[in-house]
Amino acid sequence: MKAKLLHLLESGKYVSGEEMSQTLGVSRTAIWKQLKALREQGYEIESAPRRGYKLLATPDTMLPHDVKPFLRTESFGQMIHYFDTVPSTQPLAHGYAAKECEEGTLVLANEQSDGKGRLGRRWQANKGQSVSMSLVLRPTIPIQQAPQLTLLAAVAVTRAIESVAGLECEIKWPNDILYKGKKLVGILTEMAADPDQLKYVIVGMGLNCNQAAADFKAELSTIATSIQAETGETVNRAKLVAQVMNEFEWIYQAYLDNGFKSIKSLWEARAISVHTNLYARTPNEVIYGYALGITDEGLLRVRDEHGKEHLIYSADIEL
Ligand code: BTN
């Protein structure tokens, strides 16, 4: 009822008590009680005689009932396990996945005290300012294709940030999301597999939302940024979480139906690490060369100084 009521108010226009009660099929008294409860939770709702109610501001929380009114998905984000503070959402998501949770289950946290980054690094996720979430996927794809899901996540998050906050971000292969060269989002994809079969994939996404520049630790201040630091406006984290789910679900479905090829152009449209010289630090060597693009499988193609072409599966990229 609360989510439906919020959905009605989300239009940004006045909605009369009569209209609410008819649309939701409940009494005017029930509507009035819900509006009172919403106000107590920090929603600013104006009431004007003969016009009705208008939502002026939502509290900056991203509890499941804050996210749901913005969700337009079948499964992604329909089940949210929300935590105020956790060490990391990744192991929790592994736990739910191992217990056969539904695909699309989301573990969402307001703060992480021990966030995990790629290559054993740490990820700073401040309380109330960031989004930390891990999504459970169960694709029936060969194990070696699992890294492609990282590229899908990058496209989904980039599109969501643009639609919610109006920022056009860039993707650095495979999955760093940058704005003017500074990191806005990190993505960490982990999987569980039997020798010959993928069991599940956890896509961890960390979004810097409402940090001021001074909120980043000294070592990050020159390399990281947030949506608020760039736009000057607070972003509604609940709406952003929902929009990532909305984008991710259709992109994932298109990928399952038609393969990575169908997503490649969406990824390339945002990529800054193609058609340029770069260093690729792979686990075995550092390759310097010209990035020709990505393959239909999502591997990075780099031509080195000697004209030899390398297909890169995993690397840290320096432009
Ligand atoms: C990177 O190194 O760029 C990846 C960072 C990934 C951070 C996210 S936040 C949600 C999930 N939980 C974690 O501990 N890490 C990922």
Q: What is the ipTM of this complex?
A: 0.99
pLDDT attached to residue 79: 98
3, pLDDT greater than 90:
no
Q: Which ligand 1 atom is the nearest neighbour of the CA of 185?
A: 3
Q: What is the distance in A from the centroid of ligand 1 to the CA of 112?
A: 10
Tell me the two tokens of residue 78.
């329909």
Q: Which ligand 1 atom is the nearest neighbour of the CA of 121?
A: 2
pLDDT attached to residue 60: 84
Average pLDDT over residues 268-283: 91
295: phi then psi, degrees, rounded to nearest 5 = -80, 175
Which residue's CA is minimally distant from atom 9 of ligand 1?
206
Which residue's CA is minimally distant from atom 2 of ligand 1?
117
Determine if ligand 1 sits within 6 Å of the CB of residue 183: no
Point out the annotated binding site: 112, 183
Considering only CA atoms, which of 205, 63, 42, 51 is closest in space to residue 123? 205
Q: Determine the Cα–Cα distance for residues 248 and 218; give it in Å rounded to an integer.
A: 33
Strands 106-116 and 80-86: parallel
Q: How confident is the model at residue 236 (pLDDT cuts 50, 70, 90)?
A: very high
- DSSP codes, 140-190: -S-GGGTTHHHHHHHHHHHHHHHHHH----EEETTTEEEETTEEEEEEEEE
Q: How confident is the model at residue 2 (pLDDT cuts 50, 70, 90)?
A: confident
137, pLDDT greater than 90:
yes
Determine if ligand 1 sits within 6 Å of the CB of residue 112: yes
End-to-end C-alpha distance for the chain, whole angstroms: 50
Average pLDDT over residues 245-250: 98
Q: What is the distance in A from the centroid of ligand 1 to the CA of 216?
A: 16
Determine if ligand 1 sits within 6 Å of the CB of residue 147: no
Tell me the two tokens of residue 296.
């239909």
pLDDT attached to residue 71: 96
Domains and CATH numbers, the chain: 2-57 (1.10.10.10), 64-270 (3.30.930.10), 276-318 (2.30.30.100)
Query: b or e along 90-116 (b: 16 or more beta carbons within 10 Å of the residue's beta carbon)?
Result: bebbbebbeeebebbbbbbbbbbeebb
Which residue's CA is minimally distant from atom 7 of ligand 1?
206
Q: How confident is the model at residue 41 (pLDDT cuts 50, 70, 90)?
A: confident
Average pLDDT over residues 217-227: 90
Which of residues 306 and 41 earns the better pLDDT score? 306
207, pLDDT greater than 90:
yes
Q: Determine the Cα–Cα distance for residues 125 and 244; give it in Å rounded to an integer.
A: 18
pLDDT attached to residue 76: 98
Q: How confident is the model at residue 283 (pLDDT cuts 50, 70, 90)?
A: confident
Point out the annotated binding site for biotin: 112, 183
Residue range 168-205, pLDDT digits in tens:
999 998 889 999 999 999 999 999 999 889 999 999 99
Q: How confident is the model at residue 57 (pLDDT cuts 50, 70, 90)?
A: confident
pLDDT attached to residue 273: 80
Tell me the two tokens of residue 112.
């992480």
218, pLDDT greater than 90:
no
Return the residue matching tokens 């940004």. 12
pLDDT attached to residue 312: 93
Determine if ligand 1 sits within 6 Å of the CB of residue 90: yes
Give every CB contact of residue 263 below 8 A, 6+ residues apart in sequence: 151, 152, 155, 251, 254, 255
Global pTM value: 0.86
Q: What is the distance in A from the centroid of ligand 1 to the CA of 136?
A: 14
Determine if ligand 1 sits within 6 Å of the CB of residue 204: yes
Q: What is the distance in A from the centroid of ligand 1 to the CA of 43?
A: 30
pLDDT attached to residue 120: 87
Determine if ligand 1 sits within 6 Å of the CB of residue 208: no
Q: Which ligand 1 atom is the nearest neighbour of the CA of 89?
A: 12
Give every CB contact of residue 91 below 8 A, 6+ residues apart in sequence: none
